[in-house]
Amino acid sequence: MKKYILLLLILPFLTNCSKDDFNNNNKYLPNYNFQVNVDMSLPLYSQLKFTGNAVVVTIDGAGINGVIVTNTGTGFTAFEASCPNQALTSCSRLTVKGIIATCPCDKVEYLLYTGQAKTKVQYPLKPYKIQQASADLLIISN
């Protein structure tokens, strides 16, 4: 009887364990696997050391049209630099001003802290995984 009670107590913990639930699906943007390192000690990325700054990372292999990295003050966010609600075209690369990314195709503005649009759209910005490996090193991947 004790075995059954122990099994009933452990069962909820076993069923709640799952792999990473990171959902990155968008019908306009393909899922490319990549991993890039961003060294914030380099002048190109040094603005990321300060809260509220965003930088477009265009290292070969970083996303589709690059990755927009933002220092939120409590961590970092990384989003695809392509318009999430447009098919890939010559105008589908987001422009960044402050903490706002704008799609030149449809003029939709996205907040770089959350990835959400200021207006109602089908998809938010496509998020990427980001981790801070050291004081100056960020690892971005999909």
In the chain, the domains with their CATH numbers are 20-141 (2.102.10.10)
**Which pLDDT does position 25 carry in this prediction?**
84
- Mean pLDDT confidence for 44-63: 95
Say if residue 10's pLDDT is above 70.
no
The token pair at 29 is 């943007």
- Mean pLDDT confidence for 88-100: 94
Say if residue 20's pLDDT is above 90.
no
Closest listed residue to residue 27, CA positions, set 93, 82, 85: 85
Say if residue 18's pLDDT is above 70.
no
The helix or strand, by DSSP H or E, that contains position 138, with its residue range, turns out to be strand 137-141
Say if residue 55's pLDDT is above 80.
yes
The answer to whether residues 79 and 64 touch, using CB atoms and an 8 Å cutoff, is no
The answer to whether residues 126 and 110 touch, using CB atoms and an 8 Å cutoff, is no
pTM for the complete prediction? Answer: 0.82
β-pairing, 95-97 vs 76-80, is unpaired
% residues pLDDT > 90 (the chain): 77
Weakest-pLDDT range from 71-75, 89-93, 97-101: 89-93
- Mean pLDDT confidence for 39-58: 96
Say if residue 110's pLDDT is above 80.
yes
- The DSSP-derived string for 9-23 is HHHHHHHH--S----
Q: Is 104 helix (H, G, I), strand (E, B) or coil?
A: coil
